[in-house]
Amino acid sequence: MICIDIYHSIHLTCINCGEVFPPNAVLYTCPRCGSLLEVRYELRVGVSWSIFRSRPFTMWRYRELIPVDTRYVVSLGEGGTPLYRAEKLARWVGVKRLYLKFEGANPTGSFKDRGVCVGIAKALECGARVVACASTGNTAASVAAYSARAGVKCVLFLPEGKVAPGKLFQALLHGATVIELNCNFDEALRLVLKLCGRGCMYLLNSVNPWRLEGQKSIAYEIADVIGVPDYVVVPVGNGGNISAIWKGFRELHDLGLVGELPRMIAAQATGAAPIVKAFRAGKVTVDPVNEPETIATAIRIGNPVNAPKALKALYESRGLAEAVSDYEILEAQVAIARYEGIGVEPASATSVAVLRKLVHEGVLEPDATYVCVLTGHALKDPSVVDYLSKWVERYRCGVGDIHYILETVLRK
């Protein structure tokens, strides 16, 4: 058990004006300039890979680097997800060394558990009795599960008819109050930000900087298992996760635990690609996409709240941003499942689809080490099977026809 006395200092810093706030201030944006906040800390104790590796492989192996009071942590065993070497998929993509960080193996089936676990700890520390979020689905599922375990009330704001069935089921199963709004995710987030700003509920969207303190552990785990890859490809919606992973690598570098840094690649769907457009234009903020549309509902986001942090991660790491069509996303989802036996939801497959596109276009070299982050489990969204007819072998027949069908199947 580790408390906060292992730190010289922990504070929230505005990424724009540099104003500093105490760590237990319930703030989601800078009260002075309205920009995003970041958690900064200075350790009083030394850390090393051998200390980390003497502990079980969960994200709490790196607990000194996650500056939250662990007395408030309610865990479901988040993190410690597999990093698979994917040789057959690497051939399909066109690269020599490809690894897949399978975040679908988290307790509720997505990377959100890492951040929500830390966010809930902070909510408990601040004495919050109700937590809330707007969600395209995975945050809702995660917040519902962790708040159930922590014994706090949970209110979820979801865009009606736009959340994958598995995620909605999880939210309802864990007993959250689900409010379905006749608007898109971006509008739902704006609403919940306003409501939480009044202080009646604790906000658990990734604009809350504590969420990112949990999610940066993806970087720690990658570096722990294979060292620093040349590139890390991340599906991007609100831009929280890619900035968290970049923060994780930078912290390891600052602590002298790694010698290099990876280049970050943002993967989006063409119908919802404001970060890609801003990056191409060399801008530090985005022009919102008003009607974002993609089969990858988790990243159907037009006005990403963490855009300044995500773009900073891309520029600082000399990274790239690219978008792919829904067809390319589904094709990659099927390839990941067929070549490697890993089932992911469409948003997650965006990382592999983008990598393949950039390699085929000659933008990225085949002879580098790539990690694609696979953000969520296939069972989150079984409804996409309706779009997979081109790839699915499925027969409906009477028992009497079985010999005929089998003959056809086995001759193939």
DSSP-derived pairing of the beta strands 83-85 and 97-102: antiparallel
The identity of residue 273, as a single letter, is A
| Contacts (CB under 5 A) with Zn ion, residues 174-193 | none
Nearest distance from residue 230's CB to ligand PLP, in Å? 21
Least Å distance between CB 373 and ligand PLP? 8
Q: Which residue has the tokens 């294979």?
A: 226
Q: How far apart are CA 289 and CA 390, in angstroms?
A: 30
Count residues near Zn ion (CB under 5 A): 8
For residue 208, the partner it binds in ligand PLP, Zn ion, none, with Cβ less than 5 to 8 A by kind, is none
Q: Which residues, including other chains, have CB under 8 Å from residue 4's CB and lie 6 or more apart?
A: 10, 23, 67, 69
- Quote the least distance from Cβ 19 to Zn ion, whole Å: 5
- Cα–Cα distance, 264 to 1 (Å, whole number): 33
238 binds ligand PLP (CB under 6 A): yes
CA distance 19 to 33: 9
Q: What is the Cα Rg of the chain in Å?
A: 21
Which of the choices ligand PLP, Zn ion, none does residue 38 contact, using the CB cut-off of 5 to 8 A by kind?
none
**Cβ 119 to ligand PLP, closest distance in Å?**
13
Q: Which of the residues 3 through 42 are near Zn ion (CB under 5 A)?
A: 14, 16-17, 19, 30, 32-33, 35
Nearest to 336 by CA among 24, 44, 90, 38: 90
Is 299 a residue that touches ligand PLP (CB under 6 A)?
A: yes
If the CB atoms of residues 299 and 320 are measured against ligand PLP, the closer one turns out to be: 299
Residue 35 interaction partner, one of ligand PLP, Zn ion, none, beta carbon < 5-8 Å per kind:
Zn ion
Tokens of 181: 């709004």
First to last CA, the chain: 59
Q: Spell out a b/e string for 132-160, using b for 16 or more CB atoms within 10 Å of the CB, else e.
A: bbbbbbbbbbbbbbbbbebebebbbbbbe
Cα separations in angstroms, 397 against 21, 276, 401, 410: 66, 47, 6, 16
Residue whose CB is less far from ligand PLP, 29 or 52: 29
Nearer to Zn ion, 37 or 384 (CB): 37
Binding mask 138-177 for ligand PLP (x = CB under 6 A): xx--------------------------------------
Torsion of CA 41, 79, 317, 134, to 10 degrees: -80
- Are 257 and 47 in contact by the 8 Å Cβ rule? The answer is yes
State the minimum distance, in angstroms, from the CB of residue 223 to ligand PLP.
20
Q: Which stretch binds ligand PLP (CB under 6 A): 18-26, 140-148, 278-286, 344-352?
A: 344-352
The binding site for ligand PLP (CB under 6 A) comprises: 110, 136, 138-139, 206, 235-241, 298-299, 345, 347-348, 375-376
The binding site for Zn ion (CB under 5 A) comprises: 14, 16-17, 19, 30, 32-33, 35
